[in-house]
């Protein structure tokens, strides 16, 4: 019991007092109705990780609560009822109810006390995964079953908020031991077959927390991959959300994190990049391209006009043989622009190879101006050095060059507006790029010679 209250006190001391008050109110509302209330999943994991570092406040932006019956299972609507009751106490919060699974979420956006916070409230779920009958001594509670359907032991612990035994840690699968051993262990052998995105989640947590993947778990991962995960990602677009959508969401989380490179390396070691495409390998060449991409994003994208994680993913897909790119991008349901870019990429590469023939800056600009920035960057990554240099020059300087005169100036000089204007302006820009024209005077001279009035 001392231990129970210690963990509860720890939670209280580590989180924002307003959040603690919210959890206290939620527990009171649950108790009134004869329910138990638990914090589950990531928040418990992070609390246990943070508790050794006393000064560190725990920034919880996303909390999962589970309601369970006191004597028997709570009815399916309990989570929604509790969320509704809480929303009355917190009119600032937005209430979202998801019918299918009877879960509710309370959302605060930049609240003065709670800041941005997302609290999911679910009812303990027993219906989806059968209770493992092997050990009759384990109580067949619904919270246990709810935890059993989760991914890793460190994510499958619950902290009871309600009395009696408030503060008790429910750790049926030895999550605490794994947390101390700093390892990711899956709950059951079929976990990755049921949900292959858990492979990516496991890698993400392992790299983020500096954990290893426990060896049995690793063998389950390899087994799931060998059983043909890729075909399923390509096929299973009938579920909601589709496997491919969830895989894309995981890829986003990984590719926008500072540790994306280590995560890709680990995925590759586990052969898990095969979920994207069976031929995908993180070889020396792809790594070189991704490093180059980083330098390029730092140099050229000060305004953050490019979605970095997405371009990393596109560079990875562009590394596949041309015939696979479009299909992989479509399977992952990337944005239309990305799909188009990857579908036309090999044609763009052929075209851009023509840069070796260009002698003048104006020819380089003429060739590159029809491509968007992302295509140019992807092309540079795969091109030989001389072509890459021209692309960098184009991106950083030449694409911004303007002629000293515009259409208005042409009219003032006495030229009649019309179809010829575009050609004249293009000529003028080319002459500017190539240094033939460098100010208004030389521009006017250039025009009067080439287009006499
Ligand atoms: N979960 C799972 N399988 C998935 C996704 C989630 O079993 N494919 C379970 C995990 O046990 C997780 C819980 O659902 O703890 C909530 O998921 P989520 O909020 O995505 O993850 P957190 O563990 O809370 O991690 P984070 O710190 O990234 O929010």
Secondary structure, 3-state, 76-132: CCHHHHHHHHHHHHCCCCEEEEECCCCEEEEEEEEECCCEEEEEEEEECCCCCCCCC
Distance CA 337, CA 283 (A): 27
- The region that residue 26 occupies, defined by phi over 0 for left and psi between -120 and 50 for alpha, beta otherwise, is alpha
For ligand 1, say whether the CB of 42 is within 6 Å of any of its atoms: yes
Classify domain 2-176 at the CATH superfamily level: Beta Polymerase, domain 2 (3.30.460.10)
User: Which residue's CA is the closest to the ligand 1 atom numbered 3?
Assistant: 151
Largest Cα–Cα distance in the chain? 100
Atom of ligand 1 nearest to the CA of 62: 29
Distance CA 394, CA 365 (A): 7
Average pLDDT over residues 296-313: 88
Q: Where in the chain is the domain with CATH 1.10.3090.10?
A: 182-280, 283-400
Q: Tokens 């959040």 appear where? A: 19
> Hey, what CATH class is 283-400 in?
mainly alpha
Atom of ligand 1 nearest to the CA of 147: 11
Question: DSSP of 178-221, one letter per residue?
Answer: HHHHTEE-BSSTTHHHH-THHHHHHHHHHHHHT-EE-HHHHHHH
Among residues 333, 329, 192, the alpha carbon closest in space to that of 249 is found at 333
Is residue 139 predicted with pLDDT exceeding 80?
A: no
**Which has more confidence, 11 or 446?**
446
Distance CA 246, CA 198 (A): 10
Among residues 135, 253, 132, the alpha carbon closest in space to that of 203 is found at 253
pLDDT at residue 53, rounded to an integer: 66
Distance CA 215, CA 270 (A): 11
> Hey, what CATH class is 182-280 in?
mainly alpha
Q: Where in the chain is the domain with CATH 3.30.460.10?
A: 2-176
> What's the 41 CA to ligand 1 centre distance in angstroms?
6
Which range has the top average pLDDT, 13-17, 59-63, 132-136, 206-210?
Answer: 206-210
pLDDT at residue 59, rounded to an integer: 83
For ligand 1, say whether the CB of 195 is within 6 Å of any of its atoms: yes
DSSP character at residue 360:
S
For ligand 1, say whether the CB of 64 is within 6 Å of any of its atoms: yes
> What's the 43 CA to ligand 1 centre distance in angstroms?
10
User: Which ipTM score applies to this complex?
Assistant: 0.94
Report the SS3 class of residue 332: coil
For ligand 1, say whether the CB of 198 is within 6 Å of any of its atoms: yes
Among residues 32, 389, 5, 407, the alpha carbon closest in space to that of 169 is found at 5
Atom of ligand 1 nearest to the CA of 151: 7
Query: Per residue in 390-402, pLDDT tens?
Result: 999 999 999 999 9
Q: How confident is the model at residue 70 (pLDDT cuts 50, 70, 90)?
A: low
Is residue 12 predicted with pLDDT exceeding 90?
A: no
CA 275, 276, 277, 280 torsion-angle sign? negative
Is residue 218 predicted with pLDDT exceeding 60?
A: yes
Query: Per residue in 165-197, pLDDT tens?
Result: 899 999 999 999 999 999 999 999 999 998 999
Q: Which pair of structure tokens corresponds to residue 403?
A: 């002629």
**Cα atoms in the Cβ-side hemisphere of radius 13 Å centred on 266:** 22
């Amino acid at each position: 019991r001392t231990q129970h209250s210690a963990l509860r006190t720890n939670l209280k001391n580590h989180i924002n007092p307003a959040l603690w008050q919210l959890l206290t109110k939620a527990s009171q509302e649950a108790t009134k109705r004869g329910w138990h209330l638990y914090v589950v999943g990531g928040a418990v994991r992070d609390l246990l990780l943070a508790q050794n570092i006393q000064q560190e406040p725990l920034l919880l932006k996303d909390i999962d609560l589970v309601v369970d019956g006191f004597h028997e299972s709570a009815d399916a609507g309990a989570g929604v009822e509790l969320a509704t009751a809480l929303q009355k106490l917190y009119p600032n919060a937005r209430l979202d109810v998801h019918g299918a699974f009877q879960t509710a979420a309370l959302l605060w956006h930049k609240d003065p006390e709670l800041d941005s916070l997302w609290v999911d409230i679910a009812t303990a779920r027993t219906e989806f995964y059968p209770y493992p009958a092997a050990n009759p001594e384990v109580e067949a509670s619904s919270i246990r079953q709810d935890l059993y359907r989760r991914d890793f032991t460190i994510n499958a612990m619950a902290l009871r908020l309600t009395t009696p035994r408030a503060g008790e840690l429910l750790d049926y699968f030895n999550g605490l031991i794994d947390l101390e051993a700093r390892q990711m262990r899956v709950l059951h052998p079929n976990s990755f077959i049921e949900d292959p995105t858990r492979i990516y989640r496991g890698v993400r947590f392992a790299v983020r927390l500096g954990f290893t993947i426990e060896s049995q778990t690793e063998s389950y991962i390899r087994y799931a991959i060998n059983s043909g995960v890729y075909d399923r990602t390509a096929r299973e677009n009938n579920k909601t959300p589709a496997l491919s959508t969830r895989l894309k969401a995981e890829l986003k989380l990984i590719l926008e994190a500072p540790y994306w490179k280590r995560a890709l390396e680990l995925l590759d070691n586990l052969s898990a990049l095969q979920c994207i495409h069976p031929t995908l390998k993180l070889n020396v060449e792809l790594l070189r391209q991704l490093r180059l991409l980083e330098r390029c994003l730092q140099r050229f994208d000060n305004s953050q006009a490019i979605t970095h994680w997405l371009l990393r993913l596109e560079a990875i897909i562009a590394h596949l043989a041309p015939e696979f790119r479009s299909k992989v991008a479509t399977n992952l349901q990337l944005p239309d622009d990305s799909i188009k870019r990857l579908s036309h990429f090999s044609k763009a590469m052929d075209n851009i190879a023509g840069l070796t023939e260009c002698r003048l800056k104006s020819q380089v600009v003429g060739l590159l101006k029809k491509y968007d920035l992302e295509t140019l960057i992807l092309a540079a990554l795969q091109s030989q050095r001389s072509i890459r240099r021209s692309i960098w020059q184009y991106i950083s300087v030449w694409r911004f060059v303007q002629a000293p005169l515009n259409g208005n100036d042409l009219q003032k000089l006495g030229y009649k507006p019309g179809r010829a204007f575009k050609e004249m302006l293009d000529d003028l820009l080319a002459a500017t790029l190539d240094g033939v024209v460098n100010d208004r005077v030389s521009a006017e001279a250039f025009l009067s010679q080439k287009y006499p009035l």
